[in-house]
Amino acid sequence: MLVAALRLDLRIPACGSLKEKRHVIKTLANGIRSTFQVAVAETGYQDMWQRAELGVAAVGSEGHHLKRVMHGVERFVERWAEVDIIDIDLTLHSPED
């Protein structure tokens, strides 16, 4: 079994309040969940208006499949007009190690 974890550091330039940010992040996270079978959570910068960190996780048996899914998530977020990607970090981990 392999676990893929993707960390997305995002900028949301048009947000002027935490309420606006929550709407953008919630809509983005729901879009990711409905398109890919992954778990998504806001993992950082909860108190900043124009920054967000999303964590995306998936479990599978084949590394190349997990990488393909996570690259699909990256492309999905890149096309999301309301956010700019600052940094991306992808890790694959085998819990048996």
Q: CATH number of the domain that 73 lies in?
A: 3.30.70.1120
Element (H, E) at 66: helix 63-78
Please say whether the beta carbons of 5 and 54 come within 8 A: no
Q: How many domains does the chain have?
A: 1
Domain region containing 7 = 2-93
Q: Please report, in tens digits, the pLDDT of each residue of the chain (97 residues total).
A: 899 999 999 999 999 999 999 999 999 999 999 999 999 999 999 999 999 999 999 999 999 999 999 999 999 999 999 999 999 999 999 876 5
Q: pTM for this structure?
A: 0.91
Where residue 36 falls (left for φ over 0; alpha for ψ -120 to 50; beta otherwise) is beta
Q: What angle do CA 69, 91, 85 make, to 5 degrees?
A: 70
**Predicted pLDDT of residue 97:** 58
What is the Cα–Cα distance from 2 to 20, expressed in whole angstroms? 35
